[in-house]
Homo-oligomer: A and B are copies of this chain.
Amino acid sequence: MFEALLGNGLILKKIIESIKELVTEVNFEVTSEAISLQAMDASHVALVVLVLRASEFEEYRCDRPQTLGVSITNLAKLLKIAGNDDSIILRAEDEAHVLTLVFTGKNNEKMCEFNLNLLTLDSEHLGIPEQEYSAEVTMSSSEFSRICRELTQVTDTLNLSVDKESVKFAVSGDIGAGSITMRANNSDKSEEKLILNVSDKVSMAFALRYLNLFNKASSLSDEVVVSLSPEVPVVLKFAFNLGELKYFLAPKIAEDA
């Protein structure tokens, strides 16, 4: 028996909205410690890693570890039925064929219960090596999102360069070239703040299309932490009360960096 009660169901709605365009069918691993998932996108360029800590749920019970194969597309449809203020219960019997979702709103006269059919999916649990990164950028997730979205106007590849003083988001395309540079600062305004933790400067290129997909998670956290090292995938980490959502993206072979 697995059962977890989430007082603030909105966060689960946001999490699923943040990953549903990247991954369509995934295995959730539920244990007594956490609900977690790891999944590559269809083109095997990006990796999504989600951990929701058991201790952060209002109620949590997991008698034995289970793998729940879920259609994210269908889960997103069911979660649309939950109100933003609803609490959400997730429940699965041992060797379950369905994941039960119960939505409870402030209106006690209304009960919503849905059973989502589970899927049997190949497992592809990837060992992600712990890694020291050359540069770590902590900034406003909405500002990072805005910059990536705007630069997509110009071209499809972002050249990201970080040194001890600043981050440079550069683009170059048929229409011209340009850059947005931000200097490290400890502003009181979370929008402007930029913390750099850099051992070696790095310059790498990434597909903006993926970064824009990852940035849907900016609704989950005010801050994003971007970790970079030459020739390894960049990590975007969005942390929130319940756990964290990380995206890994392989760099493009930078043409002029």
Contacts and interface: CB of A to CB of B under 8 A. Distances in A.
A42 to B, nearest CB: 20
**Contact-size category for A:** 35 or more
A126 interface: no
B179 A113 contact: yes
Nearest to A182: B110
Number of copies: 3
Contact of A81 (B107, B109, B153, B182): B153
A151 B81 contact: yes
B112 A194 contact: no
A128 interface: no
A151 B77 CA distance: 9
A78 interface: yes
A111 to B, nearest CB: 5
B175 A117 contact: yes
A115 B153 contact: no
A66 interface: no
Interface stretch (A15-23, A52-60, A184-192, A232-240): A184-192
